[in-house]
Every structure is written in C-alpha cells, then in structure tokens.
Amino acid sequence: MFVINKALNFQTVSPQTSMLQCAKSSINHRSKYILRQLLLKFQQPHANYGRPPFNNRCYNDDDENNVNRHVRKKNENQDDRLQLYKSLGQHLLTNPRVIDSIVNSSGVGPDDTVLEIGPGTGNLTIRLLEAAKKVVAVEVDNRMVEVLKNRASECGFCEKLTIICKDALKADFPDFDLVVANIPYGISSPLVAKLVFGGYHFRNATLLLQKEFATRLLANPGDSEFNRLAVNVKLVADVEHVMNVSKKEFVPIPKVDSSVVKICLKTEIPDVNLNEWWAFTKTCFGKKNKTLGATFRQKKKVAELLNLSRFKGSSEDIVQHESCNECDNEEDECNILGTDVNLFKEKLVGIIRTAGLEDKRPSKLSNEELMYLLSLFNQAGILFHDQEKPRDINASFAGL
Ligand SMILES: C[S@@+](CC[C@H](N)C(=O)[O-])C[C@H]1O[C@@H](n2cnc3c(N)ncnc32)[C@H](O)[C@@H]1O
C-alpha cells in the first residue's frame, strides 16, 4: 500500500502498526478504504510506466502485507497500485512542507478563486481548498478525477471544488484570481504561453516547473539560458524565483529537479503586434548566438521575408516581380528574383545598421532594443508574420 499512501500524501507510522495517517487532509479510515477500492478499480497494465522507479522507491512489502492483506486476497491476480503514467507527467508531490510553501508563496486568500492545472490525487488541491474560496481543477486523467472527487468529499470541500476533466491546453478556463499548480512538465511551454497570452486576468501564477525550464524562464539578456521563451514571457509578465524542489519530493522520483516560480502579469503591456513579435523573435533567436547581421543575410531567411512582405504589397521600393513585364523566360525570371533577394537583403541589413545592432547577438539584447528593431522593420513594410494566418499562441512557442 505504500505507493497509494504516498500518492495520497499519507504517511506510514511503522510497519508494526501499519496505521495510516493523513498529513493534511482529515480522511478517516473508512474513506481510506474507499479510496483504495477506487484505485483498485482503475488499475491498468504497466504499459507506460515501468515498475522499477516505483518499486525502488515506493513499494514497501511490510506495509503491503499488513495493511492490504484483505484487499489482496480478494484480488489475487491484481496489483493494488494506482498506475501513474510518465506520458502524463504524473509525478506526485508528497512533502507537506513543500506543498505549504507553495501555497503560502502564492498569497492565496479566502476570497480567491484558484486555478489548478493537473491536480492529480489532490495533495496540493486539498491545501488550496483550505485556503481559498474556490478551486477550479483541470485534470485530463479521469481516474485522478475520481480520486480527487472522493477526497474532496471526505474533507467536506465538494462545494468549493469545480473539476474540469479535460486537456488544460484545450479547456476554456473560467475566471480565476490565481494559478497554483504542479503542472505536467511536458506542457510547460504551451501552458505558460496560454496563461500569459491567453487574455486571462489574474494576480499571479505560482508554478512548479522543471528546473531547467524555470531557469530559462528567469534568464536575462547575456545569460547563457536566455532565449525566445524568456524574451516572449518578459514582454507581458515578470517572473520571480520562489524555491528549488528536489526530485526526491515526488512519487515516483523524476529524473529532473524542479523549481517554483511566480509569474505576475504586467499592468502595462507594450503596444506591439503579438503575431509580428513572436515571428520576429523566432527569426532573431533561430540561431541565438549569430549576430543579427548574419541572421538577416541568410539567403533562405531573406527570401522568406521578401515573400511575406511583397505578397502583402507593403514594400514599395523592392522590385515587384509579379508586376514585372521583362521576363521572357524562366531564366530571366530567376535572375530578377535573385536581384530582388539581393536588394531586399541590403534593405534588411541597412535597417539593422541604422538601429546600431548589426554586430549584436539577440541573446544579449533587451526587449526594448528588440522592439525598436521590429518597429523599424515594420515601418519599412517588412513583415514577419503571414497576415493571412490566424494567431496561434502554441505554434509561436513551439520548441521552447
Ligand atoms: C505532476 S502531476 C501533479 C499532480 C499533483 N498536482 C501533485 O502535485 O501531486 C501532473 C498532473 O497533471 C495531469 N495532466 C497531464 N497532462 C495534462 C493536461 N494536458 N491537462 C490537464 N492535466 C494534465 C496528470 O494526469 C497529473 O495528474
């Protein structure tokens, strides 16, 4: 039973007594029995998540023999563990002190509605329900939803809890004041993008993230980790480091350490076309250690930007190949196209030179410098985003 104990944030007192104690939530023995039965109902073959990480760390034979003997007898051919899936990032946070620190650092109060992404078995949710007016939990795995519902009911929190059983990237979030979550690390980038660019209004988001991802989010110009993710998020939000969390605080133990960060939306957001900004930063940071001069001299990039700009009819002083009557054959066509590209390249580099950024690397530039350069490009009719394509936050953050 140790696995289930840990997953539900229970603590085992001793192998002799094998009595279970609930660290924070006041679940009685009958409810624990119900939860165990529920977990048994949802057991699945060990297809996605191999036994080793669980067995090494979590499985305790003494507990299992003493506590769960009666259950095992009834289910001789079955395993009594809640199968956790790596593909869903199911690493449950079990240390009550860490959970308390996260809740406290979020600044949640009795009037707040909290959005939690990926509540899992509810270790963090129960603490949030104690502190907040309401919790909206978005969970994709309906086995977890069942466990959470029962746990909240046992604690008398049903009224305060709304569960949306859906992929958080596809769900529409109702209004909320705060986000507090130990999110599945696999969706970190699109989820942060959705939160900060999705048009939501909230005080802050306190998120437990993979340490490397958090480091990139916190990076400043000149830091080796500084990339497009930090540049884009910094445009609309401030990010602060709260604390590091060891991998040992999770069940099963992941391969990576974690950090908690707090993301606060800025009250004043720069007046910039977001589609243009995302596409522009994607171009600049494609090879973040190249100078801007070198990036904007790349033939493929120049041709791509020429296409985007001329099809939108915004660049007047570049020869418009479509309106050219001088092409007699395909070879002429290519030559004129080549001339276009060269002219356009000179135009691009001229603008970067005017901004004084030709020899600069994007990873060392502030958002103000990048915004200035984008405004010069746009004023000259040079566009980075295909205006016919709709806004796609996820695509803009892809690969980050
Ligand atoms: C890292 S676990 C956190 C569980 C719990 N909050 C805790 O701290 O113990 C992530 C949870 O997110 C859920 N999850 C994974 N992908 C999701 C998605 N796209 N949308 C919503 N929930 C998701 C998983 O099923 C899992 O319960």
Cβ burial of 330 (10 Å; 0-12, 13-18, 19+) is exposed
| Alpha-carbon span 246 to 211, nearest angstrom | 9
| Alpha-carbon span 308 to 220, nearest angstrom | 31
Name the token pair of 280: 């522009």
pLDDT, tens digit, 9 for 90 and up, residues 115-149: 999 999 999 999 999 999 999 999 999 999 999 99
| Res 396: pLDDT | 61
Quote the ligand 1 centre to 184 CA distance (angstroms). 5
Quote the ligand 1 centre to 31 CA distance (angstroms). 23
- pLDDT surpassing 80 at residue 14: no
pLDDT, tens digit, 9 for 90 and up, residues 271-320: 999 999 999 999 999 888 899 999 999 999 999 999 888 655 444 444 44
CA dihedral of residues 260, 264, 265, 267 (deg, nearest 10): -170
Percent of all residues in the chain with a pLDDT value above 90, rounded to a whole number: 64
118 known member of a binding site: yes
Ligand 1 neighbours by CB, cut-off 6 Å: 88-93, 117-120, 123-124, 138-141, 144, 167-169, 182, 184, 187
Asked if residue 20 lies in contact with residue 128, where contact means CB atoms within 8 angstroms, the answer is no
91 known member of a binding site: yes
| Res 393: pLDDT | 72
Which of 84, 99, 138, 139 for mutating ligand 1's site (highest number of atoms within 8 Å of CB)? Answer: 139
Q: Which residue has the higher pLDDT, 81 or 236?
A: 236
Q: What is the pLDDT averaged over residues 364-381? A: 96
Nearest CA to ligand 1 atom 4: 120
Quote the ligand 1 centre to 103 CA distance (angstroms). 17
3-class DSSP assignment, residue 238: strand
Chain centroid to CA 292: how far?
Answer: 29
Q: What is the pTM of this model?
A: 0.78
3-class DSSP assignment, residue 158: helix
182 known member of a binding site: yes
| Res 106: pLDDT | 98
- pLDDT surpassing 90 at residue 322: no
| Res 307: pLDDT | 87
pLDDT band at 390 (very low <50, low <70, confident <90, very high): confident
Listed in sequence order, the residues at least 6 apart from 206 whose beta carbon sits closer than 8 Å to its beta carbon are 102, 105, 106, 178, 179, 180, 181, 242, 260, 261, 262
pLDDT band at 53 (very low <50, low <70, confident <90, very high): very low
| Res 39: pLDDT | 52
Q: What is the pLDDT averaged over residues 254-267? A: 97
394 known member of a binding site: no
